[in-house]
Amino acid sequence: MTERKVLFFFSHMGTGGSQKIEAFAANALCRAGYHVHAINMSSDPCTVSLDPSIEITEVSYDHIRECQNPLHAFLKKTLYLKKLRNVIKNCAPDLIVAFLSDITRIVVLASHNLNIPIIGSERADPYQYTDKQLEKYRKAFGQCAAVVFQMPSVKEIYSLSLPSVQKVIPNPCIPRQGGFSQRTRTDSHVIIGAGRLVEQKRFDILIDAFSIVSAKHSEYRLNIYGDGPLRAPLQNQIRSLGLDDSVTLAGDVRDVFFKEKDAEMFVLSSDFEGLPNALIEAMATGIPCIATDCSPGGARFLLQDGSFGLIVPANNAAALAEAIMEYIDSPEIRESKGTAARDSVSEYDPAVIAAQWVDLTEEVLS
């Protein structure tokens, strides 16, 4: 039988939760015997981990993303779609996979009437879209052979009548190096956060909450891992609150949860998320978790409505501080939540999730 070819479209191949999981799916199909080819729609270098046999072709969309003139942008988009269509024809895949709503829409337009089935996947929070955007993406997903969602609540938002194949496939729990470390102590007095230093992650709220906590529990430290455009404003906030000695912006680290396996708790403070990879990794390590009830419900889904960690309202420093102090004052509750969370992540085992992607691919191609 001729080897089936699958073409993956990446918005970029740098750091990002969506990119990490798309690479995981591509690798899973590669291991299953499919010929996998990847399109990188950015000129940024590839840092995701892809099987060496996967060929990568750059067809950058960056010049369009950066274009401010509407007329010029329209003309560039038209030319780009033609270029992308030629790439698809030359590759001649049996199946296309596209992560993210905007990338799916571009691929649907570029491959119109080529009769190549598409698996599209929503990885973001549809509540952040305008009505016009949501309708565009709903139409694009409706023209796919299958659509993958990370959680049931997002599937319900779209309420698609087509396609008939709609699957919920959660993110796998992937250790960053080797495996997940076991905790050796539970009284480190260290609280951690992790993510890009961008507005969505609301590290400003976490710092404000920690300021409240620190007034009563000065022995605690907060380490925030990640980098981004808000580093300077967050550093200024730390300084203005007099927290220079207890809050550290620790920068990018390859494996936060290996370095901080003995943290007393992990805090997710975001306004919105898909299915947060950092939260899954913290749970797998057994670090007790606190998360905001961020849209569209990924943290609540993972923590099973509070069974596996504390859930607090988003954008509420006082509520977040109260939850942190509940963990500090009640170590037995904190550790029982951490243990329950660690035991729950077996359903996100990479082998289980990889099999779901392979099964879906076979279903679409059959």
Find the CATH number of the domain harbouring 222: 3.40.50.2000
In tens digits, what is the pLDDT along the chain, a chain of 366 residues?
Answer: 468 999 999 999 987 889 999 999 999 999 999 999 999 999 988 889 999 999 999 999 988 888 888 888 899 999 999 999 999 999 999 999 999 999 999 999 999 999 999 999 999 999 999 999 999 999 999 999 999 999 999 999 998 888 989 999 999 998 776 677 778 888 999 999 999 999 999 999 999 999 999 999 999 999 999 999 999 999 999 999 999 999 999 998 888 998 999 999 999 999 999 889 899 999 999 999 999 999 999 999 999 999 999 999 999 999 999 999 999 999 999 999 999 999 999 889 999 999 999 999 999 999
Domain range holding 16? 5-172+349-365
* 200 and 243 belong to one structural domain: yes
* 155 and 12 belong to one structural domain: yes
| Cβ-based neighbour number of residue 139 at 10 Å | 12
* 131 and 255 belong to one structural domain: no
* 289 and 168 belong to one structural domain: no
* 144 and 236 belong to one structural domain: no
* 152 and 292 belong to one structural domain: no
Q: Residue 185 falls within a domain, yes or no?
A: no
Q: Residue 184 falls within a domain, yes or no?
A: no
The residue length of the chain stands at 366
Q: Residue 277 falls within a domain, yes or no?
A: yes
Q: Residue 109 falls within a domain, yes or no?
A: yes
What is the spatial distance between Cα 235 and Cα 243, in angstroms, rounded to a whole number?
Answer: 10
Instruction: Give the predicted TM-score (pTM) of the model.
Output: 0.85
What is the spatial distance between Cα 124 and Cα 11, in angstroms, rounded to a whole number?
Answer: 13
What residue type is 29 in one-letter code? Answer: L
Q: Residue 180 falls within a domain, yes or no?
A: no
What is the spatial distance between Cα 181 and Cα 1, in angstroms, rounded to a whole number?
Answer: 43
* 54 and 149 belong to one structural domain: yes
What is the spatial distance between Cα 58 and Cα 84, in angstroms, rounded to a whole number?
Answer: 10
* 60 and 141 belong to one structural domain: yes
Contacts of 322 (CB under 8 A, 6+ apart): 312
The residue among 82, 169, 83 whose CA lies nearest residue 119 is 169
* 215 and 92 belong to one structural domain: no
What is the spatial distance between Cα 364 and Cα 357, in angstroms, rounded to a whole number?
Answer: 11
* 121 and 257 belong to one structural domain: no
CA 103 to chain centre: 15
Q: Residue 155 falls within a domain, yes or no?
A: yes
* 333 and 266 belong to one structural domain: yes
Task: Say how many domains are in the chain.
Answer: 2
CB burial string 29-51: b at 16+ within 10 A, e below: bbebebbbbbbbbbeeebebebe
Q: Residue 182 falls within a domain, yes or no?
A: no
What is the spatial distance between Cα 324 and Cα 326, in angstroms, rounded to a whole number?
Answer: 5
* 159 and 269 belong to one structural domain: no
Q: Residue 183 falls within a domain, yes or no?
A: no
